A and B are shown apart, each in its own frame.
Chain A
Amino acid sequence: MNSPNKLIVSHAPFWHIGSGVPERNYNILVAALPAVLMGVVFFGIPAIGVICMAVSSAIVWEMLSNLIAKRTDTVADGHAALIGLIFGMLLPATAPWWLVITGTFMAIVIGKQIFGGIGANPFNPAVLSFAILSIAWRNYFDFDAQLVNFNLEYPAFYPLVAAKAFGTAAVDSIPLMDLFIGKEVGGLGSTSGVALMIGGIYLIARGFVRWEIPVAFIAGLLITAGLFHLADPGKYAGALFHLLTGYSLIAAFFLATEDSSSPVNTVPMLIYGAVGGVMTMLIRNIGAYPEGVIYAVLLINLMNPLIDKIRPKAIGKVA
């Protein structure tokens, strides 16, 4: 705890918005709520169960890991609750309770506490946990299979799977406005584009999220998807379709912008976001998975320390 290394910090520029860590986390929680509410509207009570289980179990894992590691109890900073909420938003509304609890364990303990707690995690904990679980229990993350018993008033198939397997013709009839509102099969808190954008714009306006990452992510995704679509319109769906389906918007505003796994300098933020968008589309269109966001975010998290070295030259002598 008294290590002198704690006093060594990186070069400027720093970005100070005059608020603390808890305020930041609780604001992100509030910003995510519209998307969660839309999920509850579309998927009903099971979505409430998943979200509540995710948030509460994340807090419990945080408390237990602090207790075992004899660290200061950090549940009050809201970070554990935030990780739980974001993880819950990625899940299908039918996720069983044990999957949610295992997922928050992976996120809090494996994704965050093992690396030293808040600010030390190299990957977005929720995304890392999702990646581990989706490999371990693939069928529970198959939205088509999980939502077969939901009576939906809109096309009841996961649009990204349909687009990848059957081409643009299979998704041409889905109105973009429906996708924007959230009338699509997907994660319980990640389908509503409008709600995610409201939350994201609020975070940017309040200074909790820098605009560079979401804008670069969306631009990278749109341009890459657009180029693919131009090259073969029958095989690759359009750019707006890809922006409004899957985890695109939740990634742009909530996943890629996670503080400790994203860069702080302007140019690195732009590169980080743009690579995220491009990789998402490369995985979706020519990779094995219909949804590329999870691995794209992990990949940009991985390159974050390297690209964050692109920074203004320090003035004066550096010790």
Chain B
Amino acid sequence: MTSKKHRMIVYGVALQLLLVAIVCYAAFPVKPPEEPLRLMYQTNAGKVLFDHQMHATTKGYALACADCHHPHYDAELEPMSCSMCHPPRPEGIKTPESCLDCHDDISEIENTEIMKRSDAFHSQCIGCHDQYGQGPPSGPEGCGQCHVL
């Protein structure tokens, strides 16, 4: 086999691989599933990987949505990202500053002030884990049990 022939074969293979790559990237992008599998929170105190699938399906704890998320009774709402209400919120998107922006009846909400996302998550995660005595222990020295510092 001559060197030129060999080069042409390599270029041919490279071209075909490039086409395959373009098709793979264009036609099969990795899309987030409707219901999250895992969520990665980048925080000031390191990252936290939350296994949503483990909490919400029969693979794990099989919790109902309303066990963690706000129950929006009598309303057909699309599931929203927590950061749509709890700050820090995404930039450029109109989000409520107070629960009363959406809720007229104050009796259906506990607190009109929207908690910071980190406070809401800490309260939610630690509260549930403490209640069931499962998972990482809470406390001032327990940060590194969830946060990858």
Decide yes or no whether A310 CB sits under 8 A from chain B.
no
The residues of B that contact A93 with a CB separation of less than 8 Å are 30
Contacts of A78 in B (CB 8 A): 10
Chain A contact residues: helix, strand, loop or mixed? helix
Check if B28 is an interface residue, CB within 8 A of chain A: yes
Verify A75–B21 contact, CB threshold 8 A.
no
Chain B nearest CB from A51 CB (Å) reads 8
* A59 touching B21, Cβ below 8 Å: no
Is residue A161 within 8 Å, beta carbon to beta carbon, of the partner chain?
A: yes
- Interface pair B30/A151, CB less than 8 Å apart: no
A144 touches B40 (CB 8 A): yes
Q: Tell which of A42-50, A116-124, A208-216, A270-278 binds the partner.
A: A42-50
List chain A residues, Cβ under 8 A from B23: 49
CB distance from B123 to the nearest CB of A (A): 22
Query: How far apart sit A318 and B14, CA to CA, in the bound complex (Å)?
Result: 46
B39 interface hit (Cβ, 8 Å): yes
- Tell me the A33-90 residues at the B interface (CB within 8 Å): 44-46, 48-50, 52-53, 55-57, 59-60, 63, 73, 75-76, 78, 81
Contact flags B57-92 to A (C-beta < 8 A → 1, else 0): 000000000000000000000000000000000000
Distance to closest chain B CB from A21 (angstroms): 12
Given the interface contacts A53-B25, A73-B7, does A48 sit within 8 Å of B20 by beta carbon?
Answer: yes
Tell yes or no: B109 within 8 A of A by CB: no
Contact A149 B32 (CB under 8 A): yes
Q: Is B148 an interface residue (CB 8 A)?
A: yes
Residues of B within 8 A of A75 (CB): 7, 10-11, 14
Q: Find chain B residues with CB under 8 A from A73 CB.
A: 7
Contact B17 A45 (CB under 8 A): no
Nearest Cβ on chain A to B35's Cβ, whole angstroms: 11
Query: Which residues of B43-60 have CB atoms within 8 Å of chain A's CB atoms?
Result: 47, 49, 51, 53
- Asked if A150 lies at the interface with its beta carbon under 8 angstroms from chain B, I say yes
B15: interface (CB < 8 Å) = yes
B10 contacts which of A76, A148, A151 (Cβ < 8 Å)? A76
A150 touches B28 (CB 8 A): no
Give A residues with C-beta under 8 Å from B.
Answer: 22, 44-46, 48-50, 52-53, 55-57, 59-60, 63, 73, 75-76, 78, 81, 93-94, 97, 139, 142, 144-145, 148-151, 156-157, 161, 165-166
Given A53-B17, A60-B14, A145-B40; 5 other pairs, CB 8 A cutoff: A59-B11, A59-B14, A76-B7, A145-B49, A166-B144
